[in-house]
Amino acid sequence: MANSAVKRENLTAENKNVLVEAKRARTNDENEGKDDIVSDTENILSGFKTSSVLNDSAREKIAFIHGKIDDQDAVVILEKTPFREETLTELLSGSTLKLEMRNDIYSSYRLQAPPHLNEIKTTVVFPATEKHIKRHQRQESFLVEETAEDYQSITLPYIQTQSFSLQWVYNILEKKAEADRIVFDDPDPHVGFVLLPDLKWDQKQLDNLYLIAIARQRGIQSLRDLTSEHLPLLQNLFQKGKEAILQRYNLPASQLRVYLHYQPSYYHLHVHFTRLGYEAPGCGVERAHLLSDVVQNLQTDPEFYKTRTLYFPLRADDGLLGKFREAGKIK
């Protein structure tokens, strides 16, 4: 069963059935770290003026739109929510059908669903910076080969010169924000973590389950920082994260994909828990590292990720890709 493809000409932001939630800004602007959640009675998009479609995907039923709100840049992400089994009977019986074609036993229709069954998950980045806009533009990607020496001479200096604020992460860990969304909390300062739904998951069905476990221990920026000293943390997060998901969602570990990204989207240790059958963004082999493999690698070699050559994709406009090009590592 597939949804209708999102067409560019129909990408209007004035949709009374949108679900609006403010996207966490992850740059160093004055709004960094603030969780500006819009109430369901407020329509922040009523004055949205579309400038361009940055990217869209008919397969994933998602569109990224650049525009203005009160003369300030904004990015709106429209995503068709998956079908839910418990609403199928109402969807089929309560919708209006318009015949498009009939041939023998086959017929094609346009189905107009009731508004409450036709929601569009909408994420708003406002005010948006140039980084936010570029991040969602359709661009070519390049696979980077990073040796241990490259990490020390190229990647790490680049990370250190960037202002990646993590205040929004600390707000979650300190329960100053999103406390009501926490699924599990281990308060131990060394091996503890907070488990909560990722913003990409609307929590209405398990088919696209997506949770994030954020480590309480600070100073671990990425996979490169992990050594055998961190095994207790990784094993605790792995085991208790799976147990919490089983208890809350009745989903066994055999149906979970548990992994880390390299490069990560933000430089504080966090682990992704997604349903195995869901092709979550970034779950491909060029970026995702299964947590079970990470644990085994560190058990075999305590310095595994400090010495190994790692591969990861970067978009054409990524500043780090520019540094690798300057060093003659990318053609």
Tell me: is residue 131 an annotated ligand-binding position.
Answer: no
Residues 6+ apart with CB under 8 A from 328: none
Residue 268 known to bind ligand: yes
Report the alpha-carbon distance of residue 21 to residue 198 in Å, rounded. Answer: 12
Residue 32 near residue 128, CB atoms below 8 Å? no
Instruction: Confirm or deny that 116 is annotated as ligand binding.
Output: no
Q: Does 266 belong to an annotated binding site? A: yes
264 assigned binding-site residue = yes
Q: Rounded distance, CA 34 to CA 17, Å?
A: 25
13 vs 211: CA distance, rounded Å: 27
3-state secondary structure the chain: CCCCCCCHHHCCCCCCCEEEEECCCCCCCCCCCCCCCCCCCCCCCCCCEEEEEEEEECCCCEEEEEEEECCEEEEEEEEECCCCHHHHHHHHHCCEEEEEEEECCEEEEEEECCHHHCCEEEEEECCCCHHHHHHCCCCCEEEEEECHHHHHHHHHHHHHHCCCCCHHHHHHHCCCCCHHHCCEEECCCCCCEEEEECCCCCCCCCCCCEEEEEECCCCCCCHHHCCHHHHHHHHHHHHHHHHHHHHHHCCCHHHEEEEEECCCCCCCCEEEEEECCCCCCCCCCCCEEEHHHHHHHHHHCCCHHHHCCEEEEEECCCHHHHHHHHCCCCC
Is the pTM higher than 0.75? The answer reads: no
Instruction: Give yes or no for a cis peptide into 221 (omega within 30° of 0).
Output: no
Active site includes 132?
no
Cβ partners under 8 Å of residue 281, min gap 6: 200
The reply, when asked if residue 198 is annotated as ligand binding, is yes
Which residue in 66, 132, 136, 270 is the catalytic one? 270
d(CA 209, CA 241): 13
pLDDT at 42: 67
237 Cα distance to chain centroid: 19
Q: Is residue 178 annotated as involved in ligand binding?
A: yes
Per-residue pLDDT of the chain (331 residues; tens, 9 = 90+): 333 333 333 333 333 333 333 344 333 333 443 344 444 546 888 889 999 888 887 777 888 999 999 889 999 998 888 788 888 888 889 899 998 888 888 899 889 988 888 888 888 888 888 878 877 777 788 999 999 999 999 999 999 988 678 999 999 999 999 999 999 999 999 999 999 999 888 888 898 999 999 999 999 999 999 999 999 999 999 999 999 999 999 999 999 999 999 999 999 999 999 999 998 888 999 999 999 999 999 999 999 999 999 999 998 888 899 999 999 998 7
pLDDT at position 116:
85
Q: Are 247 and 215 in contact (CB under 8 A)?
A: no
Query: Does 168 count as an annotated binding residue?
Result: yes
Q: Which of these, 228, 223, 220, 224, lies nearest to 300 by C-alpha position?
A: 228
The verdict on whether residue 261 carries a ligand-binding annotation is yes
Q: In this predicted structure, what is the pLDDT of residue 313?
A: 94
Annotated ligand binding at 190? The verdict is no
Count of residues for the chain? 331
List, for residues 114-143, the tens digit of each pLDDT value: 888 888 888 888 888 887 887 777 778 899
Q: What is the pLDDT of residue 163?
A: 67
